[in-house]
């Protein structure tokens, strides 16, 4: 079994946490399919877009750099998660369950210790 490699573009977006919307747009615009998916989501009611967003930089600006980066990660990881391999599907399900438990624990910790930094 061969595992898919993590897309270079997603790694570049993740490594550029303190960049401007313009710089993120430059990176994202190198992938037409990813750009189209990002524009579709940015124009959706989820992000309360009153008009169709037709520019990656405006999409990133309206969503925010963090949300835009998270969305890029989600879009690029999704094909790997939805693999036809039962072995991979099982591993991703276990990882997902673990992530949910960590998130729940983190939330409980946050509620019991309000002076902690969120990151």
Q: How far apart are the first and last CA of the chain?
A: 36
* 33 and 88 together in one domain: no
Q: Which domain holds residue 77?
A: 1-82
Angle subtended at Cα 107 by Cα 105 and Cα 108, rounded to the nearest 5 degrees: 65
Same domain, 24 and 75: yes
**Residues 51 and 96 reside in one and the same domain:** no
pLDDT digits (tens, 9 = 90+) for 43-87: 888 776 677 788 898 888 888 888 888 888 888 877 777 777 788
pLDDT band at 14 (very low <50, low <70, confident <90, very high): low
Task: Tell me how many domains the chain contains.
Answer: 2
Both 49 and 92 in a single domain? no
């Amino acid at each position: 079994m061969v595992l898919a490699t993590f897309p270079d573009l997603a790694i570049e977006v993740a490594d550029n946490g303190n960049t401007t919307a313009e710089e993120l747009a430059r990176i994202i615009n190198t992938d037409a399919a990813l750009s189209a998916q990002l524009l579709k989501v940015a124009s959706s009611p989820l992000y309360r877009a009153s008009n169709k967003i037709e520019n990656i930089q405006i999409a990133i600006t309206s969503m925010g750099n963090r949300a835009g980066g998270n969305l890029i990660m989600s879009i690029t990881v999704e094909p790997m998660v939805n693999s036809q391999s039962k072995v991979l599907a099982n591993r991703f399900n276990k990882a997902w369950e673990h992530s949910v438990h960590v998130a729940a624990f983190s939330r409980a910790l946050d509620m019991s210790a309000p002076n902690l930094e969120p990151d």
